[in-house]
Amino acid sequence: MRLLIKDASVVTLDPARPLLAPGYVSVQDGRIEAVSDQPPVGPWDEVIEGKGQILMPGLVNAHTHVAMTLLRGYADDMELMPWLQTKIWPIEARIGDEDVYWGSLLGIAEMLLGGVTTFCDMYYAFHRTAAAVEESGMRAVLSGVLLGFLNSAQADLEAACRFAREWHGAAGGRISAMLGPHAAYTCPDPLLRQVISAARELGIGLHIHVSETEQEVEASEQSTGLPPVLHLERLGAFELHPVLAAHCVHVSPQEIEVLARHQVGIAHNPGSNMKLASGLAPVCELLARGARVGIGTDGAASNNNLDVLEEVRLAALLAKVREADPTALPAHQALYLGTRGGALALGLEDVGLIAPGFRADLVLLEARQPHLVPPHNLVSHLVYAARAGDVRTVLVDGRVVVRDRELLTLDLPRVMAEATRRGQEIVAGRRPRRR
Amino acid sequence: MRLLIKDASVVTLDPARPLLAPGYVSVQDGRIEAVSDQPPVGPWDEVIEGKGQILMPGLVNAHTHVAMTLLRGYADDMELMPWLQTKIWPIEARIGDEDVYWGSLLGIAEMLLGGVTTFCDMYYAFHRTAAAVEESGMRAVLSGVLLGFLNSAQADLEAACRFAREWHGAAGGRISAMLGPHAAYTCPDPLLRQVISAARELGIGLHIHVSETEQEVEASEQSTGLPPVLHLERLGAFELHPVLAAHCVHVSPQEIEVLARHQVGIAHNPGSNMKLASGLAPVCELLARGARVGIGTDGAASNNNLDVLEEVRLAALLAKVREADPTALPAHQALYLGTRGGALALGLEDVGLIAPGFRADLVLLEARQPHLVPPHNLVSHLVYAARAGDVRTVLVDGRVVVRDRELLTLDLPRVMAEATRRGQEIVAGRRPRRR
């Protein structure tokens, strides 16, 4: 299978040749073959017209809980702990495996239609999310959530290990697995040590929430004598690779140095951090110290969409607020975090750039729209003016999964109908308690 | 002309009956005739199918410089004063009247397609913006910009008064005029007194930038002994109605009290304030004191789009950051600011609600999309999940101006082509200096 995208304005994210306008990108067997400002030589199995469109790498959602789309809009504008304790956790305890499957399909549909080609997930019933990923043609890094306070914690860890053995590298390499201890404050040290040791044996990474709120840091210091990052370092968590630490809002300079030295992947979630008033992550300091930063949406219950292009914009804007400096996190850097930065944070070394040898995860956006005119600076437009609805065509691993705004791999009306029905049943309490 | 929108989920913004699902809205001669959960009796000249769609009042952009769309993406991620002095002002001095016309059409096209039915503008060559508004079918409050340091200041004021006499109430009432002294720091007191007196004579309002940056407040205190709001009050500016004060980022409790007491309209511009790192406006305090707050995009050079739905989301998120409180500015309140709040801030008493007797400025959004499913809470979805591209159909004054995503009143390809050509010529310096 050899495919050509021709005549697009190509934003590569590759510092060697950041923009080709017009540019030509050829794809063979799922990987980018060549990137050129001249038409390459065929023959082609397929040619995609890119005229009037911007071609960019697929966006990477570095942290989400995809099936929480079922709870989108169910509870907003609340304090974090009442929100979790009275709204989210009681409802989540009633979400079944097939609910997770349909919620995952809904979130995947939203992401693919919005140019997101990879996501990193932590949730229950991960094998059903894996099935949804396999069907949809998307790329994903999946981890089950492990909570120390559940009676099922040991069984959950065993199930997560079985899942990793079965699914790591599955779907032609599109799926990878991590273990997902929810956070240091929800997993006691013996469980964390077990998880770290299991991940080492399996040769996989970890996905964990770290320092999302001030209270979390204070509690860690009281119970362990250390803030979460230093506590996790002492447990040996950061000797694994990749480790994806979600949030890292409240981290000291010493912790930033530790995160950077171990090349821990950091998922910055600006929309969720703003909506829950968690604080402003020190993204510029993390980057200045060489940390691996990507961008995530978090779950749809605290965002409320899975729109990474919007998160890229929020990251650029919020960094300026935090630093009181309009030059903080300029457009090209923010876009890098939403693509290549996220891929590196997830340990996906061959994802996130338009350059030969990279996975052909590609997005075409319609540029002939009033809000993207005049075309003075396409990177600026992608970050400060574009929106997910501008996405026309999406490829994952060289396969066209969205063409002219139509999702080819899923039955979208059925996905929306099932997710609506199940979401409404869940919030109405018409589900047995499972956890 | 009698028109019916049937079977939509109607988010009215009217506290008396906030949601009708399904709902029916009938329109006669440009005004809303009835709002009901039952099908009303015809006959109808036109019936618009609303099934699967959300019907809401048109969004109000309470502060912009519409023709600056020509400079979209031309200069970003810079400090405010170097950005203005080295990039924006030298270029703006070369923008001609026909450039303003085409830039206005571009911005109007973007706004109408994104569900914005009213905007409040301050710029040069306002008569050409007025022509663009008249052609497009949009509603606008227009003011020329008056700058004390220009040699043409007196002539500019005279031209602004002539414009007001000619255009205030024009286009079937869709256009109103204000006088637009740029700011207290750019207009010396004698000019401001002249402007206030002229506005009083004309029976129109003022549109002015107020306390956007800390430096502006400090400079005002040094030169006048008062912060900008108290200085303007002393000059008598707030005895006019309506007064639209853009930004009000750095205002003291005493100034907030003054703004509320005089019912000054305040345009909150969260995206621009974030991008330029101007600070966080005290929106919740303003509202708590009863001030009239709307939401604006500011110009496309500092945003970089004219997407009020996005600004509504940013307002809700940024308030939570400022107050460190996830309950601050909940969804319904943010949406109110983007519709009815903006209309009241502009003195448009019969705009911004779906209720009998109000102007029929109406927007239908496609709800059958993954990012708006399940429909647990439509107001939450509009604020936290929807985007401008979801807009399908738009009416202004009861006239359909966008139908199924097609802009009916303008030649969109021509507008984009002209704006591109002119924008590129301007930034390339291929224009004579005019100011």
In order along chain B (435 residues), what is the average pLDDT of each group of 10 residues?
97 95 97 96 96 98 98 94 90 94 98 98 95 98 93 95 97 98 96 98 98 96 97 98 98 98 98 97 98 98 97 98 98 98 98 98 98 98 98 98 98 98 94 83
What ranges in A236-365 are assigned the alpha helix state H? 253-261, 270-275, 283-288, 308-323, 331-336, 342-345
In sequence order, the 6+-apart residues with CB closer than 8 A to the CB of A87 are A74, A75, A78
In contact, A317 and B275? CB cutoff 8 Å? yes
pLDDT interval class at A67 (50, 70, 90): very high
Interface contact flag, A326 B424, Cβ < 8 Å: no
Separation CA B73–CA B431 (nearest Å): 19
Does residue A380 surpass a pLDDT of 90?
Answer: yes
A vs B: CB pairs below 8 A: 216
CATH architecture, domain defined by A2-57+354-407: Roll (2.30)
Separation CA A184–CA A186 (nearest Å): 6
Interface residue B384 vs chain A (CB under 8 A): yes
> What pLDDT score was predicted for residue A396?
98
Q: How many CB atoms lie within 10 A of CB B193?
A: 14
pLDDT interval class at A431 (50, 70, 90): confident
Helix, strand or coil for residue B267?
A: strand
Name the burial class of residue B348, with classes exposed (0-12), middle (13-18) and buried (19+) by CB atoms within 10 angstroms of its CB: buried
> What pLDDT score was predicted for residue A62?
98
**Parallel, antiparallel, or unpaired: how do β-strands A243-247 and A265-268 relate?**
parallel
Cis ω before A330 (30° cut-off from 0): no
CATH architecture, domain defined by B59-345: Alpha-Beta Barrel (3.20)
Interface residue A423 vs chain B (CB under 8 A): yes
pLDDT interval class at A434 (50, 70, 90): confident
Separation CA A192–CA A204 (nearest Å): 15
Instruction: List the single residue in B321, B374, B378 with the smallest CB-CB distance to A277.
Output: B321
Interface residue B92 vs chain A (CB under 8 A): no
Q: For chain A, give every domain's residue range.
A: 2-57+354-407, 59-345
Q: How far is CA A357 from CA A350, A377, B95, B228, B319, in A?
A: 7, 27, 46, 59, 45
Q: How many CB atoms lie within 10 A of CB A95?
A: 23
> What pLDDT score was predicted for residue A435?
73
Q: What is the DSSP annotation of A198-233?
A: HHHHHT-EEEEEE--SHHHHHHHHHHHSS-HHHHHH
pTM, whole model, 2 decimals?
0.98
> What pLDDT score was predicted for residue B433?
85
Closest to A198 measured CA to CA, from A167, A230, A163, A172: A163
Q: How far is CA A95 from CA A243, A428, B361, in A?
A: 27, 12, 41
In sequence order, the 6+-apart residues with CB closer than 8 A to the CB of B200 are B239, B240
In sequence order, the 6+-apart residues with CB closer than 8 A to the CB of B70 are A374, B95, B99, B102, B103, B106, B419, B422, B423, B426
Helix pair B228-235, B253-261: axis angle to 10 deg = 40
Q: Class for domain B2-57+356-407, per CATH?
A: mainly beta
Interface contact flag, B385 A72, Cβ < 8 Å: yes
> What pLDDT score was predicted for residue B80?
84
Q: Which residues in chain B are closer than 8 Å to A381, comparing Cβ atoms?
A: 72-73, 304
Interface contact flag, B373 A307, Cβ < 8 Å: no
pLDDT interval class at A245 (50, 70, 90): very high
